[in-house]
């Protein structure tokens, strides 16, 4: 009896964590799309080279996976220090952290079933730290600089070019999508269940047609400007100096020391 209740609760939480939502809207939009706009603020973290910041976030996420719960304070203090140093409005973090809520509930359920509170601390601590570090990264770094940093760090050319083009067209296609779904919402009558999936699919189809036709036009225009399949890399980044590398090494050393005996 109680087992059934637990299973049902689990199914509900899993569904919520899996992205099933109770939204009435056909288009969720993306509140985070604002990160694509140029950064107007300034601060100590804004002036760091994108490569260094990207490496710092990646090493934080990867090394934290090896840090035991008892020493999770080390990466937590590092992230907190970075947050305080960056002078970024704290509201930026709240929205991002809110998306973790279903997963938090899922983790709590897991602990309730297994009775391991330390595992809960580790799971949630890592989830929150990565989200905060990533939010910090995109609020203090322009997206073109991030793409360039990823390419400098060895992202394959084809992936880098695709990534740059995708970011270029993201907000355009997002507008297109919200226009289409507004029109759909105005027309759509009938039960809100799976029977709406086919008309919605036709809407997705027209979004695909518009996107691909735009792609064709873009390609023609790019050919006219001498495009040969590779995007030239224009420098958008602050040059990395030796003190930046020393700082990164200290960051990695602190995290590595916290993770040390468990390698």
Partner 1 sequence: MHLPDGFLSASVSGAMYLASGSAVAVALRRAEADGDGADPGERGRSTVMMGIVAAFLFVAQMINFPVTGGTSGHLLGAALATALLGPWRAMLVMAVVVGLQAFIFADGGIAVLGANLFNMGVAGCLASGLVLSLAGADHRRRRLALAAAAWLSVLLGAGLTALEIGLSGRVPLAVVLPAMLSVHAVIGLGEALVSVAAWSLLVGARPDLATASREPGGEPWRLALVLALGLALVPLASSLPDGLESVAERQGFAQAAAPARPAPLADYALPGRRVTGFDALGTYLSAGVGMVGCAGLMLLVGAVRRRRPAEAAGS
CB of 180 to partner 1, least distance (A): 9
Q: Which is nearer to partner 1, 105 or 238 (CB)?
A: 105
The three-point CA angle 122-31-206 to 5° equals 120
Return the residues of window 180-199 that contact partner 1 according to CB under 8 A: 181, 192-194, 196-199
Binding residue for partner 1, selected from 73, 153, 166, 183, defined by CB under 8 A: 166
Q: In the Cβ-directed half-sphere of 30, how many Cα atoms lie within 13 Å?
A: 12
CB of 182 to partner 1, least distance (A): 12
Residue 206 interacting with partner 1 (CB under 8 A)? yes
* CB neighbourhood size of 120 (10 A): 17
What are the angstrom distances between the C-alpha of 61 and each of 2, 4, 73, 205? Answer: 37, 36, 14, 38
Residue 131 interacting with partner 1 (CB under 8 A)? yes
One symbol per residue from 97 to 116: x for binding partner 1 (CB under 8 A), - otherwise; what is it? Answer: --xx--x--xx-xx-xxxxx
Residue 213 interacting with partner 1 (CB under 8 A)? yes
d(CA 194, CA 217): 35
Q: Which is nearer to partner 1, 40 or 193 (CB)?
A: 193
CB of 237 to partner 1, least distance (A): 16
Contacts of 63 (CB under 8 A, 6+ apart): 75, 252, 255, 256, 258, 259
CB of 229 to partner 1, least distance (A): 3
Return the residues of window 10-39 that contact partner 1 according to CB under 8 A: 10-11, 13-15, 18-30, 32, 35-36
Residue 129 interacting with partner 1 (CB under 8 A)? yes
Residue 229 interacting with partner 1 (CB under 8 A)? yes
Q: Which is nearer to partner 1, 143 or 244 (CB)?
A: 143
CB of 181 to partner 1, least distance (A): 7
d(CA 125, CA 232): 40
| Burial 90-112, CB ≥16 within 10 A → b, else e | eebbeebeeebebebbbbebebe
- Sequence length of the chain is 263
Return the residues of window 74-93 that contact partner 1 according to CB under 8 A: none
């Amino acid at each position: 009896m109680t087992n059934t209740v637990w299973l049902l609760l689990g199914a509900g939480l899993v569904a919520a964590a899996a992205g099933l939502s109770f939204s009435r809207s056909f288009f969720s939009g993306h509140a985070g799309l604002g990160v694509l706009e140029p950064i107007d603020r300034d601060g100590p973290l804004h002036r760091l080279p994108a490569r260094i910041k990207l490496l710092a976030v990646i090493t934080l996420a990867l090394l934290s996976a090896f840090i035991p719960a008892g020493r999770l304070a080390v990466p937590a203090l590092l992230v907190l220090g970075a947050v305080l140093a960056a002078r970024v409005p704290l509201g930026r973090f709240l929205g991002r952290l809110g998306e973790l809520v279903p997963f938090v509930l899922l983790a709590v359920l897991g602990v309730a079933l297994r009775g391991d509170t330390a595992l809960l601390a580790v799971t949630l601590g890592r989830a929150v730290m990565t989200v905060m570090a990533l939010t910090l990264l995109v609020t203090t770094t322009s997206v073109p600089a991030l793409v360039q940093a990823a390419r400098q760090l060895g992202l394959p050319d084809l992936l880098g070019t695709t990534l740059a083009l995708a970011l270029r067209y993201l907000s355009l296609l997002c507008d297109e999508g919200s226009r289409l779904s507004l029109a759909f919402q105005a027309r759509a009558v009938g039960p809100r269940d799976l029977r709406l999936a086919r008309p919605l699919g036709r809407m997705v189809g027209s979004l695909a047609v518009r996107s691909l036709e735009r792609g064709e036009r873009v390609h023609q225009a790019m050919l006219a400007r001498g495009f040969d399949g590779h995007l030239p890399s224009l420098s958008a980044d602050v040059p990395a100096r030796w003190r930046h590398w020393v700082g990164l090494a200290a960051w990695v050393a602190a995290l590595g020391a916290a993770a040390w005996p468990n390698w």
